[in-house]
Amino acid sequence: MDIAQNLNRIYQQIAQYQTTHTVSLLAVSKTKPFCDIVAAYQAGQRLFGENYVQEGVEKIQQAQQQHLNDITWHLIGPLQSNKTRIVAEHFDWVQTIDRYKIAERLSQQRPAHLPPLQVLIQINISDESSKSGIQPEQLMDLAAQVVQLPNLQLRGLMAIPAPTDDIAQQQAVFKQMATLFQQLQQSYPNLPIDTLSMGMTDDMQSAIMCGSTMVRIGTAIFGKRN
């Protein structure tokens, strides 16, 4: 499997789907060996997403040892309070903020020499009991708390909708997220609320057409999970 070719194909697809705005590609490297990250890096990829804290931190440390210092690391899995310190010390972004307690701990534990941790609030847009995230009606309350934290920078929203092959259903959910994103932007016009993280390998086109600014792609880059 050629990771560089896979990336090139996805870059082309993104360019084809994005008509009104720029879309970033987050390469989801969970369960994949570090050599796959290096291959993607050599092909020009700089944004990587990890679901598991310990695995992610190990890869971040490997990247630092190899002087791959321009990688931006996103935590895209759920975060427990006993793991906040190690995340605050290593990751650049956390996409899964769904409790004030977690956000507060991340802010308190972010080392002073690092820039603010960039964060997204996760919305449980399909109301699945198995998924993390807040209900849409809780967004403004949590956002108001997060923006007060000195070592965090709120950048937008993230969602993992229930999987479906129904294009109309995909788009309906993504449009709901786009509306919430616009409401957040309007509430904080002086903040860089610029990131709507939604869309994966199977629903990337619908997500981009509905306003996603960041798609999270794993399988189509690195192949099936180990």
- Domain extents in the chain: 3-222
* DSSP letter for each residue of 119-180: EEEEE-TT--TTS--B-GGGHHHHHHHHTT-TTEEEEEEEE-PPP-S-HHHHHHHHHHHHHH
Least confident of 11-15, 100-104, 154-158, 222-226: 222-226
Summarised one tens digit per residue, pLDDT across range 198-223 is 999 999 999 999 999 999 999 999 99
Summarised one tens digit per residue, pLDDT across range 39-82 is 999 999 999 999 999 999 999 999 999 999 999 999 999 999 99
Across residues 168-186, what is the average pLDDT?
97
At the top level of CATH, which class does the domain 3-222 belong to? Answer: alpha beta
Residue 226: which pLDDT band, with cuts at 50, 70 and 90? low
